[in-house]
Amino acid sequence: MKPINKTFFLCLCIIWASVFLLTKSKIYLPNIFQFYLLDLIAVPVLANLGLYFLQFITQNNSLLLKPWQLIFVIISVSIYFEIVLPLCKPSRYTADIYDVLCYVLGGIFFLAIGKIKKQLN
């Protein structure tokens, strides 16, 4: 899977930073944005960062993510944010099956964008 467009990746990062900064400023968005938007973009951002890092350390810009690597990202994020953190800090984090669904949808989105870019090239 190819990385997503750099401009699009930057837009996802700006969305994440905006929601984060608004929340820290005690300005809350509607629940669907506040609680699920960041979960939806987490996997595409993390998979893209992982791919860029992998390409950097191997010095091979043609290297692509394999589907099992994307699945690994989805499972890792789900376990960490929906099992580990709620167990370690239950007052701050809660486990939510809808978050896991958002991680899966984000992975499908990343896969779809990669497929679209591959077909266009």
Q: For the chain, what are the domain ranges?
A: 6-120
Cβ pair 53, 116 in contact under 8 A: no
pLDDT at 45: 92
Length of the chain: 121
Tens-place pLDDT, residues 72-95: 999 999 999 999 999 999 998 889
Q: What is the mean pLDDT of residues 26-38?
A: 89
Find the angle CA(67)-CA(14)-CA(109) to the nearest 5 degrees.
25
Q: Is the pTM of this model over 0.75?
A: yes
